[in-house]
């Protein structure tokens, strides 16, 4: 199920699926945020804006209005069966 990045809780791993606005797409793509990239929501500021994500091996801070334009899918980790 796809959600907006701004709705994801700290510690969750997600995969970028799409961008809502084309004008922000180039800016985010230059920073490593491309569809198919796995990211982790690392921190949220005390007042909720900005958020920090781990993407392409580095931390990136995004404002909530930017995160609202990124559609992601949560990664569900399965435990290995023995």
CA distance 21 to 24: 6
pLDDT on residue 79: 61
pLDDT on residue 76: 80
pLDDT on residue 8: 93
User: What residue segments make up the domains of the chain, in order of their start?
Assistant: 2-74
Burial degree of 16 (CB within 10 A; 0-12, 13-18, 19+): buried
Q: Place domain 2-74 in its CATH homologous superfamily.
A: Ferrous iron transport protein A (FeoA) (2.30.30.90)
Q: Tens digit of pLDDT for each residue in 11-43?
A: 999 999 999 877 778 888 888 888 999 999 999
Q: Tens digit of pLDDT for each residue in 51-82?
A: 999 998 899 999 998 899 999 999 887 666 55
């Amino acid at each position: 199920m796809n959600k907006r990045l701004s709705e994801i809780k700290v510690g969750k791993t997600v995969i970028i699926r799409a961008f809502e606005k084309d004008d922000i797409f180039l800016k985010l793509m230059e920073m490593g945020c491309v569809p198919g990239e796995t990211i982790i929501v690392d921190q949220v500021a005390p007042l909720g804006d900005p958020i920090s994500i781990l993407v392409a091996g580095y931390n990136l801070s995004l404002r909530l209005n930017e995160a609202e334009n990124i559609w992601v899918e949560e990664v569900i980790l399965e435990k290995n069966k023995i």
